[in-house]
Amino acid sequence: MDKSSNFSEKIIEGVMKFVSLKGVVAVKDGIMYTLPLTLIGSVFLLLAQLPIPAFNNWMAAQFGKNWTAPLLQAYNSSFNILAVFAVFGIAYIYVKNEDYEPVAAGIIAEVVFFLTLDQFSSVTDPTTKAVTTVAGVIPRTWLGGKGMVAAIIIGLIVGWVYTWFLRKKITIKLPDGVPAGVSNQFAALIPGLVIIVGATVVYQFFKVVLNTTLIEWIYKVLQTPLQGFSDSFVGALVLGFLVPFFWWFGVHGSQIVGSVFTALTTANMATNQSIIEAGQELTIANGATVVTEQFRSLFLQFGGSGLTLGLVFAMIIAGKSAQSKSLGKIALVPGLFNINEPVIFGFPIVMNPLMFVPFVAAPTVTAIICYLAIKTGMVPPFSGVTVPWTTPPIISGLLVLGWRGALLQAIIMVISTVIYFPFFKKQDAINLKQEQEAAEETAVSDSVEM
């Protein structure tokens, strides 16, 4: 027991050290600023791509064949430029957590991000194949999913360098009577100048020496291999396993894994949407990815991390102990909205050796099923459409993948219930025995007092 406790404590200690790293916190919390834009953009994209031909034909007849243009404009101005907001959020959070005024750092990070991009675009005439260069424009290609890893790196570097200058007091210091708003902007001048000059040198180096840009180089050298791993069968297994594994130790698994995987799964989702926008069918053969943000949040974690909705169903169906019966009723409604803290801490699952196997196995098995279902074409890949994580299962599957997505979620519900069932029965029997023993002790105590 002591060895087991020491092992658990060491894992928790190591995980907490990783989670508390300044860079990890900045990435995790900084990318969260993009969440509203992801969801809002997805709403407009869903309306533009509803799989209802009759509705689409009616809208085209009423408003013209380009009726989706304003919807796609809203989507392209939110979801499709997430990297622009991510780089600001990461630098902002990094500096804010160091107790300095963070807005200037976020703005400087934005400048660096745009500075490392080419500010022209090449357009190919489909008939003559002639290439025309249009100056004074920023290619949107790198503002969304393809620029996410670059946004993380730039945001962290800017945040660290900016903080270093302020910590070393290498700034312009104004008299105490100057308003804080003015003083903060002058304090940003020296670090901002150094950072932007350095970014300019980096831009020129990549253009002259490597004939590319920093963001394109990061995409090819770092992001593409990382996306390839995240989209692999092994990547799907790791994603399914790690979230409940960390949760079992009482550490927020979704936040830990999300801090590493979210940028990649979001980029995978953007890759799929770009295939649709190019006028191609969204298939694996055309380069579609499998493991996207919807894969994680709406299929591996519906009902909460560990797919504990299956455990809740087992409680309601076969619970005999008072604890199981009452907890099943209490946890059902939150579980349907993907909130499962009552089960994780109330059953409990955390640090419960009996529940480790099903808690980890349910999402891991689900990862295998979902990956193979999409890879083989039984279920279509995910587009850029997503929904809030609190959307109930079946409904969320229907919205993002149509009837096949809803059916897949229903199958996962059944499988997760089957996985949990024998372990739940064992735990329920233990709980029932303890309740009976407690009742007998109470009865004996009452009889003695009488």
For residue 349, being part of any structural domain is answered with: yes
Q: How much is the pLDDT for 450?
A: 58
For residue 138, being part of any structural domain is answered with: yes
- What's the CA gap between 93 and 106, in Å, rounded? 9
- Pick the last residue of a domain from 203, 222, 241: 222
CB 447 within 8 A of CB 440: no
Residues 106 and 9 in one domain: yes
Total domains in the chain come to: 2
Q: pTM for the full model?
A: 0.79
Residues 194 and 245 in one domain: no
Which residues of the chain carry a pLDDT beneath 70? 1-9, 11-12, 15, 125-126, 443-450
Residues 264 and 212 in one domain: no
- Structural domain harbouring 58: 3-222
Strand ranges for 81-222 from DSSP E: 120-124, 131-135
- Pick the last residue of a domain from 222, 252, 275: 222
Kindly list the distances between the CA atom of residue 386 and the CA atoms of 38, 191, 220, in Å, as whole numbers in the listed order.
Answer: 8, 39, 26
- What's the CA gap between 54 and 179, in Å, rounded? 61
For residue 450, being part of any structural domain is answered with: no
- Pick the last residue of a domain from 222, 241, 275: 222
- What's the CA gap between 360 and 357, in Å, rounded? 5
Residues 195 and 251 in one domain: no
Residues 149 and 267 in one domain: no
CB 319 within 8 A of CB 311: no
